[in-house]
Structure 1
Amino acid sequence: MNQQVKDRVQEGFKERMDYDELLNCMRCGFCLPSCPTYIESGKNELHSPRGRIALMKGVVDGDIEPDEEVKRSLDMCLGCRACEPVCPSGVKYGHLLEEARDIIYQEEKQSLPVKGLRHLVFAQLFPYQQRMVGLMGLVRFYQQTGVQSFTRKLGVLKAFPETMQIMEHVLPPIPKRKDIKNRPTQLKSLHKTRKKQVAFFSGCLMDTVFMQTNEATKKLLQYAGCDIVIPKTQACCGALHGHSGEKERAKEMAKRNIIAFEEASVDYIITNAGGCGAFLVDYDHLLKAEPEWAQRAQAFTAKIKDVTAILVELDFHKQPLQLDDEIVTYQDSCHLRNGQKTFKEPRLLLQSIQGATYVEMNNADRCCGSAGIYNMLEPKMSMQILDYKMTQTKQTKAQTIVTANPGCLLQMMVGIEKHGDPETMRAVHIVDLLLEAVENARDRQEKGSVHR
């Protein structure tokens, strides 16, 4: 950073950072054992929550220049927010981190390639679902036409980082464009009585790369007794923007979603991706300074609920669920646990499956290293964190690793490829496993009725 940029960043910190929140940090150190980057960096305070807060406060006070070391410390953070539940002062570290990143990224001078790429991703791609569908069509073409196998044979992928090579290998088959587009916007309960009227937040990657998981989510909600509305005008949640220093664009996404879901008279807005859900439930904070939106944002966030939470609320875990004998473990989505405070419900659902033996993973609540696109931007640290996670996974002897977020799912797939045995171990989203279990139980019941 040149001096002019440093001066603008420092002024931005003084004007925008919540100084009272910075002062709330007592430097007690309770956050240190919960922070993966602090642990994996050899207990370097620069890469701990209290260390980063001290840097932010130092910049505001004028004691520290906002140089590359400050930026590096903030970039190294996963944003997992594991420090928040253990903080005795209740410091909203995630809010501080997002504000600081936004100030730095909006003020720093970026190279033309980086600036162009950020504009393409944040302004031209993620805000427009049809463009996401088009991009996924290109990925499907790559997967289905022999280009993928040809690329692998030529060894082209060896030019890319190891993480990207494995990610390319584990990426699920992309659905056909017509299958993505031709889906109903309303679904009726499959239960004998309707229990709830809900809206479903489809997401962007979830509704393309993981379309089958979205379909499984809707089917589970129908089995649980929900009528479902899927607003066509909904947009990307804005989490990628908010975590990457694009706060104004995140606000644009938030406003589009609030408008889209206001038109649906529903009990809840259901999500199935921990990262999306945690950002959606923070819309009230994101828009608190805009009087015309603040109250509407509060009404929106009050309705956000993860699919596992509503399934437990509607006693889905009490109906027959059946799998063949297998050991199952669960990897927490950081944002589902730390942002939405949802962690008991997934475990209760998994423990309710007959034929499945649930084994709790040691430090299941520690980040897997995915953190949105962190595994692409910080592959070395991401893989260090994943190595630890796979060591804990292996100790459970589980054949099935269950997650509740697409990034976690891909990261655990990478872990299986890198450390496990793809022939005997799998990673699945919890709703896909639950649908497998409920339909397996129904099939057995039907066969039993026929035999009788």
Structure 2
Amino acid sequence: MNIIEKERIQKQFQEKMDYDELLNCMRCGFCLPTCPTYIESGKNELHSPRGRIAIMKAVVDGDIEPDEEVKKSLDMCLGCRACEPVCPSGVKYGHLLEEARDIIYQNKKPSLPVKGLREVVFNQLFPHQNRMVGLVGLLGFYQRSGISTLARKSGMLKVLPDSMQLMEKVIPLAPRKKEIKNRPTHLEPLAVKKKNVAFFSGCLMDTVFMKTNEATKKLLQYAGCEIVIPKTQGCCGALHGHSGEKMKAKEMAKKNIEAFEKAEVDYIITNAGGCGAFLVDYDHLLKDDPEWVERAKGFANKIKDITSILIELKFDQLPLQLNEEVLTYQDSCHLRNGQKTFIEPRKLLQSISGSDFVEMKNADRCCGSAGIYNIVESEMSMQILDYKMEQTKKTKAKTIVTANPGCLLQMKLGIEKEGLSEQMRAIHIVDLLLEAYENAKNK
């Protein structure tokens, strides 16, 4: 960073950072055992929550410059927020991290390749669902045409890092463009009606993971929900909010609030932990906008994860059946730490007859996916994943269940990395529940 950038960043830290929140950190260290980067870095305080808060405060106080070391410390954070539930002072670490990253990325001039990549990802791709559909159509062509097989056999993929080569193998078969576009916006319940709900489709979930979205809606219908799916909704903005693009995240939040305000529903249902945690935080994201903050609160108060509504509607008391199978569960960090939802998925899994649920040690520790973290901080991500796979293998489970697309891909990557693809599978919880419900129904 040059002198002008540092001065600009420091000034904005002083103007924008919540100093009272920084002071709330008592440096007690309760957060340390929960922080994957602190543990995996050999207990380096620069990579702990209290260490990062100390760095932010030091920048505000003018004790240190906001140099590359400061940026590196903040970038290394997964943003898993595991430190928040254990903090006796209730420090909102996630809010501090997002603000600090936004200040740095908006005031530091990136290199041309980085600038180009951020422009494509944050401005040209994720905010435009039609472009996401087009890209997924190309992915489907790559997978179905035989080009993927040729790319692997010819060694073309060896120019990519090892983790990216494995990721290419585990990406689900993309739906066809026609399949994505021809879908209903209203669905009737398939049982006695209990609730009116809206469904938040997301961007990756509604393209790459379209089958999981379809399974989610089917479960809601079986549970007695009438569903509306607003056409004008879009990406939740989480990737932007976590990566120093808050202004764009705010634009996307307003678009979603408008889309769902017209739907008179009991809840807005999500099936992706990362999306849900960002959606319930829209009121914080828009707290400085008098026109939108109350509307954001109304929206956020209706957000509910699919597992929560299934428990509320007693779906766990319906017949659910699998063949003899050992299951384990990997928590989505944002579902657990952001939405405070962790008992419900376990209740649902424990209700499946014919299966044995085994709790994984440190199931609540991040798997290392964290949005695009496994791409930009690949080495640390793989260290964290290696630990996670060690714990998974100890359960002797044949099925790893999770509740977020990033976690799902990361666990699939771990299975492939360990050479266990013939013995183990990773699956989203709604896909497993639909499988269990329809198995029982057809017997």
TM-score, with structure 1 as normaliser: 0.98
Q: What is the rounded CA distance, in whole Å, between the counterparts of 1:375 and 1:119 in structure 2? A: 20
Match of 1:165 in 2: 165
CA deviations over 1:188-229 (Å, ceiling 9, x no partner): 0000x2100000000000000000000000000000000000
Q: Identify the residue that residue 195 of structure 1 maps to in structure 2.
A: 194
**Distance in 1 separating the partners of 2:147 and 2:399:** 31
Q: Distance in 2 between matches of 1:151 and 1:64?
A: 48
Tell me the amino acid that sits aligned with residue 111 of structure 1.
S
Structure 1, gaps ≥5 residues long:
445-452
Give the stretch that moved more between structures: 117-126 or 322-331.
117-126
Deviation, structure 1 residue 119: 1.0
Alignment of 1:265-276 (within 5 A): 265-276=264-275
Instruction: Give 1:120 shift.
Output: 1.2
Equivalent position amino acid for 2:434 in 1: L
1:332 aligned onto 2:348: no
Question: Which residue of the partner structure matches residue 42 of structure 1?
Answer: 42
Alpha-carbon offset, residue 153 of structure 1: 1.3
Q: Whole-Å Cα distance in 1 between the matches of residues 378 and 15 of structure 2?
A: 33
CA displacement 1:296-327 (0-9 Å, x = unmatched):
00000000000000000000000000000000
Partner of 1:450: none
- Counting only pairs closer than 5 Å after superposition, residues 203-222 of structure 1 correspond to structure 2 as 203-222=202-221
Q: Distance in 2 between matches of 1:240 and 1:117?
A: 14
Q: Which residue of 2 aligns with 1:33?
A: 33
Match for 1:135: what amino acid?
L
Aligned partner of residue 207 in structure 2, secondary structure: coil
Q: Distance in 2 between matches of 1:333 and 1:183?
A: 28
The CA deviation string for residues 144-176 of structure 1, in whole angstroms up to 9 with x for no partner, is 111111111110111110110000001110001
- Give CA-to-partner distance per residue, 1:29-57, whole Å, 9 cap, x none: 00000000000000000000000000000
Measure, in 2, the Cα distance between the counterparts of 1:222 and 1:414.
32
Amino acid at match of 1:27: R
Deviation at 1:73, TM superposition (A): 0.1
Is 1:247 the equivalent of 2:246? Answer: yes
Aligned-pair distance for 1:137?
0.9
What is the SS of the residue equivalent to 1:91? coil
Q: Which residue of 1 aligns with 2:319?
A: 320
* Partner secondary structure for residue 437 of structure 1: helix
> What's the TM-score once normalised by structure 2's chain length?
1.00
Dislocated runs of 4+, deviation >4 Å: none
Please say if 1:138 is aligned against 2:138: yes
- Partner residue in 2 for 1:231: 230
Unaligned segments of structure 2, at least 5 residues: none
Please give the alpha-carbon distance, in whole angstroms, between the structure 1 residues aligned to 2:337 and 2:81.
6
What is the SS of the residue equivalent to 1:291?
Answer: coil
- The structure-2 alpha-carbon separation of the partners of 1:33 and 1:82, relative to structure 1 and needing over 3 Å to count, comes to same
Q: Does 1:357 align with 2:367?
A: no
- 1:20 CA displacement: 0.2
Aligned pair count? Answer: 443
Distance 1:201 1:356 in 2: 30
Within-5 A mapping of 1:56-71: 56-71=56-71
Following superposition, the deviation at residue 419 of structure 1 comes to 1.4
Q: Distance in 1 between matches of 2:146 and 2:320?
A: 39
Paired-residue identity, % = 76
Q: Cα deviations across residues 213-269 of structure 1 (Å, max 9, x unaligned)?
A: 000000000000000000000010000000000000000000000000001000000
Aligned partners of 1:400, 1:280: CA distance in 2, in Å? 29
* Partner secondary structure for residue 442 of structure 2: helix
CA distance in 2, matches of 1:422, 1:146: 21
Q: Distance in 1 between matches of 2:206 and 2:138?
A: 16
What are the equivalent positions in structure 2 for 1:359-438 lying under 5 Å apart?
359-438=358-437
Question: Structure 2 counterpart of 1:413, which letter?
Answer: K
CA distance in 1, matches of 2:76, 2:227: 40
CA apart distance, 1:399: 0.2
2:92 matched to 1:77? Answer: no
Match of 1:179 in 2: 179
Any idea what SS the aligned residue of 2:42 has? coil
What is the deviation of 1:420? 4.6
Residue number in structure 1 paired with 2:149: 149
